[in-house]
Chains A and B, each alone.
Chain A
Amino acid sequence: MIARILFAAILAGIAAGVFTTAVQAYKVAPLILEAETYEGGAHDHAAHDDASSSDAGEAVEEAHDDAAGDGHAHSHGEGVWAPGDGLERTAFTLLTNVLTGVAFGFLLIAAVVFTGREISLKHGILWGIGGFAAFSLAPSLGLPPELPGMPAGDLVARQVWWWSTVVLTCGGLACLVLTKQVVWKVLGLVLLIAPHVIGAPHPEIVASNVPAILAAEFASATLAMAALFWVVLGGSAGWFLQRFAADEGV
């Protein structure tokens, strides 16, 4: 049964990853590509350091100049391999979307197994909504969905805040939904609010070449995409788990 539980996570992750790649290609990827035409060294750490001693306008101008000589706008590091634009880039995005789907599928099914709650397609969708709240909605409240070229705080600090928020939100939701005593529910609310009271790391300079309308479209597109991803992941994980459990003759 353990192998079947893990297999359910893999199948659900593949389904959600493939589905999301289609949504992403239609609504999200075009915004990333367009933002890259404005991207330069805006995310470059040296540019950030220079910017602290000059005004924001100069920093953005300098970043834009850097972009002109950068053939692979989205690549990181000098001479490091990056997939070519077009089919190759989409293919690697499909691969990493599926891997992300399987990763989240494992985490979702771990929660289902640990709590021992009943599972079905419907219950799986509810777990998916929880996953969306913890892994997309809560982190996005502090760190807005980020297009290439948008200013952002220190990467490691943001990653630490992102993970802290995810863990605290998961704990908060578990306290709220899985317990009955008031004291646990109050603790749940505190855990949900805590990362937002502490606050996410933000950049010192917020000027950007990326148009505001593009960033706004990206924020709504990524949240909608994530919501669909989690509903498909949770629903299919629930469906597969229920089916496999029934096949075992439990």
Chain B
Amino acid sequence: MLENTAATSIGGSLTSHQRIAAGLTAALLGMFMLFGVGFAHSDVVHNTAHDTRHAFTFPCH
């Protein structure tokens, strides 16, 4: 058991298959959401996420 203050390695608690599954799931979910919020060309999505897109300096308009 590690102390809460000590750094831990996530990789150590997973098999290599689990690590790849977790990493891929997180990466795909992240990319899907980022494309939707920041880069989709739909006008409604653009208008909804307008200020977020400008504030995060995603190319907008």
Contacts and interface: CB of A to CB of B under 8 A. Distances in A.
Interface of A: 1-2, 5-6, 9, 20, 24, 28-29, 32, 43, 74-77, 80-83, 89, 92-93, 95-97, 99-100, 102-107, 109-110, 112-120, 122-123, 135-136, 139-140, 143, 145-148, 152, 155, 158-159, 162, 222, 225-226, 241-243, 245-246, 248-250
B20 to A, nearest CB: 8
6 contacts: A2-B25, A6-B26, A136-B57, A145-B57, A146-B60, A162-B58
Given A76-B61, A118-B8, 14 more contacts: A2-B14, A74-B50, A77-B47, A100-B33, A107-B34, A113-B10, A114-B23, A116-B19, A146-B60, A159-B39, A222-B54, A226-B57, A245-B8, A250-B8
Contacts, number: 196
A152 B52 contact: no
Given A24-B55, A83-B47, A97-B52, A103 B37 contact: yes
A1 B13 contact: yes
Interface of chain B, main secondary structure: helix
Interface of chain A, main secondary structure: helix
A125 B41 CA distance: 32
Contacts of A83: 47-48
B10 A96 contact: no
A120 to B, nearest CB: 4
Interface of B: 1-14, 18-27, 29-34, 36-39, 41, 43-44, 46-52, 54-61
Given A76-B43, A146-B59, A159-B39, A92 B23 contact: no
Contacts of A29: 51, 55
Given A106-B26, A148-B54, A243 B4 contact: yes
B26 A109 contact: yes
A116 B44 contact: no
A110 B26 contact: yes
